[in-house]
Structure 1
Amino acid sequence: MYQTDFPKTFPQDFLWGGATAANQIEGAFDIDGKGLTTAEVVKKATDRKTFTMSSVTKDSIQAAIADPGVANYPKRRGIDFYHHYEEDIKLFSEMGFKAFRLSIAWARIFPTGLEETPNEKGLAFYDKVFATCKKYNIEPVVTISHYEMPLELTLKYNGWASREVIQHFTRYTKVLFERYRGIVKYWMTFNEINAASMGFGGTGAIDAELSEKEMLNLRYQALHHQFIASALAVKQLHELDSNAKIGCMLARMQTYPATPDPADVRAAQANDQFNLFFTDVQVRGQYPNFMNRFFKEHEITLDFAPEDTTILAEGKVDYLSFSYYMSTISSAKDTTDQALGNFALGQPNPYLETSDWGWQIDPIGLRIALNEMWDRYQVPLFIVENGLGALDELTSDGKIHDDYRINYLRKHIEQMKLAIGDGVELMGYTTWGPIDLISASTSEMSKRYGFIYVDQDDEGNGTLKRIRKDSFYWYQQVIASNGENL
């Protein structure tokens, strides 16, 4: 409809909040019937630049199984949200959260993934979490699979490399959708589904010892099985709970050409297309044509069942959620000068500052990403991860002055507001993570994102006391003013 005015503020029902993952906060990895997960056999990194999720082998898994402790596997301890959930959600409520994004640990519900009936103690825990959210009028936003699955599915099937896992996943989702009908309104299937192209962390499939050709084929076959499982879950939810919505989730990698050289522009376009391939399948319901060249050039042959075309077409998501942390530069020329990021590598941008971990800070890139995805898909968008990992310092008087985090978030929220004025339909914003948690990539505690400090170091020492940072009170004002008081 033609009009001369445009939105100048956030919608009244905007979902302000924060986002977490079960394997990074819950702890309690071996109680109340929970099984071991793939996340809990990934050993912590020895430095901040080593991502260990893609280097898992059969031998390293056996070593992890033989080690019952938490010292080498910090995701087993998390920040003990399992026993602190009431305190933590109350703190989220104090900030004014409208939404809390969390994930469910599949192995709490089906310890091995193979059971025919769920573990009632696992469900009872999430019953209590959702009841606490309701007490404080916080809408739970639930990720069904966030970088973890029951380890037994890796040992028996090599994770998502096998189509057999789909039936176990849909049994799990059916239990969730029936149990939490009318309780959970917003779901998403796989966290950062493009992580499947990076290996074990996203797929639960061991591929570190394969040839490059074999590795690529296995990863994209595993990804295809996730696409099918996601589409089937979408159809399940639509049939079981017509009032609920379900989305996909992408790690958005905004990229720019290194120069105006058309070859660099084409390199950036190709990288952008590849990033959006994952959401093309889930939002549009089919594989995009541009991937045919990629599959051909890399000799990738997918086992694509006759019914898969129909399944994908019938299982299109209701909204697109994504994480945004940084941008990169694309060049047609080979270069050894790279910037680290959220499992994305690219040339460093001389116009941008970087975080303590070398991630390039680009708020305007968020507005660009929002506009590009809105123009491409025309479905509601939801920013479900954005934040600054930093080395926070606890002062002698027990405070954390994190103006750098406030500045980071303020600049991104300003760009969100501009994007809404551009016509983008934006559902909400859940920062990563509202409380300090274990790092996904390195399993360290030092990389802190939260508005709430958790007294725990990289070795697990500390009281687990929760302390409000300066950013806690700032975000409280942001939410109370619906994004006007920044």
Structure 2
Amino acid sequence: MIHLEKGFPKNFKWGSSTNAQQFEGGFNEGGKGPSISDTRVESESLKDASFNDFKMASDHFHRFKEDIRYYNELGLKIYRFTMSWSRIFPNGNDNYPNKAGLEFYDHILMELEKYNIEPVVTLYAYDLPLNLLKKYNGWMSRKVITDYSNYVSTVATYFKGRVKYWVPFNEQNFLLLDSKYIAGYQARNQTELFKMQHNFNLSYAKALEIIHKVDPGTQVGGNIGNTCIYPKSCDPNDVEKSDEAMKRIGYGPADVDFRGQYSPYYLNSFKGVNFNEIIQKDDLDLIKSVKPDFMSLTYYMSSVVGKDDNTENMSVVKFPNPYCKSTDWGWTIDPYGFKHFIEEFYHRYQLPILILENGLGAYDELKNGNINDDYRIKYLTEHILRMKEAIADGVNIIGYLTWSAIDLYSTREGFEKRYGFIYVDKNDDLKRIKKKSFYWYKKVIKTNGVELL
């Protein structure tokens, strides 16, 4: 008998996400070493002058028990956080892990376990230990593969049986658009860019191998940042340019993460690179060994590309669409793009999908102790409805995690750009205040997506 899914599966995992470098704080406490995220903003211009770096962020380091109590009240079934490499290995390549760092994440897992919230752990999110950047230019050197693999082996062994989902890298494909931010080193040419991407790919393959060996009961999957790119018009030249962009920053990296292969069209996008000087013996065999259990995707917006557009930097995922509204930061609001993105990747790779991030960044205004963020509720409602349609079309979606659970330090806009269900009041000792969307999402979770409006 044929059964067509009409709603969300019974055990659908509703959750939310955060990221260590944007949320954790405690940059020099508990034995943590400096990372590139602790220093990168010294030369950047940010709107939020009172929070000019990631060093304090939302101070989750000191408030994790309070924050996780909020997660329990919200009803989260699943929660994604990232571990900071330099909190485990302060220099990135120490002989022994930092005991206090392991204990910190042990305590976070204990709190999540207390409330039966399933953890998803990302192991790298733009926070390379600074020492490795200084020592050998970080991801430019193959030495980083050994150091990263040791970090992966350490945490996988220490937390064996306690983490259901591991994600080795956050939005690994965006290295191609902003190597300075993702890796701490600005690639000077296509050869250097591919060399870093190759070291990422080998490290990812090693991570899958290590985690599956250490903890066969867990699941591991790659992560691709949103790449839903439309052609600017039906001019074949516009279509070709958008196809090239998708192959370069979408399907090419995804082919490695989810199929274990370098597709020719992906390699052809790196002009003038002598791959034989970079790819060593047995590298391709290691990449071919990749067998992910799921794929995780992040989505915020779609983009529109024309034949004359520059697709070599982050603007390629942010080009405006005249048919869509946009956020305060010019990000296109496109719920259908979410469905299109999900279905394209599922049909291509046939792996279960975990939506790792989806959300709206906005100027939230605190009035009389309240934050009425109806615009966030509208955005999430429309995207959830489109996700529901994708499920009805046969897409296997494990769960949906919003960005973010609590306000955190946005990558380039500081605290002015807020995403959370819980407001962080930087004018009142980082006090936590539940927004209107908190109560809305609580209802969504409780009714398994039935009551959205």
- Report the TM-score, using the length of structure 2 for normalisation: 0.95
Q: Is 1:284–1:316's contact at 8 Å kept on the other side of the alignment?
A: yes
Q: Among residues 299, 315, 340, which one is paired with 2:290 in the alignment?
A: 315
Q: Which residue of 1 aligns with 2:424?
A: 454
Aligned to 2:246: 272
Q: 2:398 aligned with 1:424, yes or no?
A: no
The 4+ residue runs of structure 1 with deviation greater than 3 A are 70-73, 298-302, 341-347
Unaligned runs of 5+ in 1: 51-69, 208-213
Deviation at 1:407, TM superposition (A): 0.1
Residues of 2 paired with 1:13 and 1:298: CA distance? 49
Q: Deviations over 1:422-455 (max 9, x none)?
A: 110101111111100001134x101000000001
Cα drift, residue 185 of structure 1: 0.9
Write out per-residue CA displacement over residues 130-165 of structure 1, whole angstroms, 9 at most, x where no aligned residue. Answer: 000000110110000011111000000101000001
**What SS class does the counterpart of residue 145 from structure 1 fall into?**
coil
Q: Which runs of 5+ in 2 are unaligned?
A: none
Q: Report the Cα offset of residue 483 of structure 1.
A: 0.8
Matching residue within 191, 206, 215 for 2:189: 215
Query: Where does residue 11 of structure 2 map in the other structure?
Result: 13
**Structure 2 contact 32–87 (Cα < 8 Å) conserved:** yes
Quote the residue 2:379 is aligned against: 408
Q: Give the count of matched residue pairs.
A: 447
Q: Which moved more, 1:263-272 or 1:182-191?
A: 263-272
Secondary structure of the 1:453 match is strand
Specify the alignment match of 1:204 in structure 2.
Answer: 184
| Identity value in percent | 39
Distance 1:250 1:334, change over 3 A: closer
What is the one-letter code of the residue matched to 2:425?
A: D
Q: Give the partner amino acid of 1:31.
A: E
What is the rounded CA distance, in whole Å, between the counterparts of 2:143 and 2:308 in structure 1?
Answer: 42
8 Å contact kept, 2:301–2:318 = no
Alpha-carbon separation, structure 2, partners of 1:333 and 1:182: 51
TM-score (normalizing by structure 1): 0.89
Residues 279-329 of structure 1: CA deviation (Å, up to 9, x unaligned): 11111001011123212x344645101111111111232111111000111
- Give the 3-state SS of the residue equivalent to 2:303 in structure 1: strand
Q: Which residue of 2 aligns with 1:225?
A: 199
Tell me if structure 1 keeps the 8 A contact 2:231–2:239. yes
Query: Partners of 1:185 and 1:165 in 2: how far apart?
Result: 26
Distance 2:335 2:69 in 1: 30
In structure 2, the CA distance between the partners of 1:437 and 1:94, relative to structure 1 (3 Å rule), is: same
> In structure 2, which of residues 339, 351, 360 is the aligned counterpart of residue 379 of structure 1?
351
Q: Secondary structure at the match of 1:115?
A: coil
Q: CA deviation at 1:47?
A: 4.7
Q: Paired residue for 1:38?
A: 36
In structure 1, how many angstroms separate the alpha carbons of the residues matched to 2:19 and 2:309? 36
Q: How does 1:328-367 map to 2 (within 5 A)?
A: 328-334=303-309, 344-345=316-317, 347-367=319-339
Task: Give the Å deviation of 1:46.
Answer: 2.4
CA distance in 2, matches of 1:306, 1:371: 36
Paired with 1:125 and 1:95, the residues of 2 have a C-alpha distance of 23
TM-superposed deviation, 1:342: 6.6
Residue in 2 that maps onto 1:398 = 369
Deviations 1:403-426, CA, capped at 9 Å, x for gaps: 000000000000000000111010
Are positions 1:123 and 2:102 aligned together? yes
| Residues 399 and 105 of structure 1, relative CA distance in 2, 3 Å threshold | same
Distance 1:300 1:453, change over 3 A: farther
Aligned counterpart, 1:58? none
Structure-2 separation of matches of 1:130 and 1:269: 42
Structure 1 Cα separation of the partners of residues 224 and 133 of structure 2: 23
Provide the secondary structure at the position in 2 that maps to 1:360: coil
Q: 2:260 aligns with which of 278, 285, 296?
A: 285
Hey, what's the Cα distance between the residues in 2 that align with 1:425 and 1:389?
27
Aligned counterpart for 2:230 among listed residues 232, 243, 256: 256
CA distance in 1, matches of 2:52, 2:290: 36
* One-letter identity of the residue aligned with 1:472: F
Structure 1 residues 41 and 384: alpha-carbon distance in aligned structure 2, compared to 1, 3 A threshold = same
Contact 2:320 2:330 in 1 (8 A): no
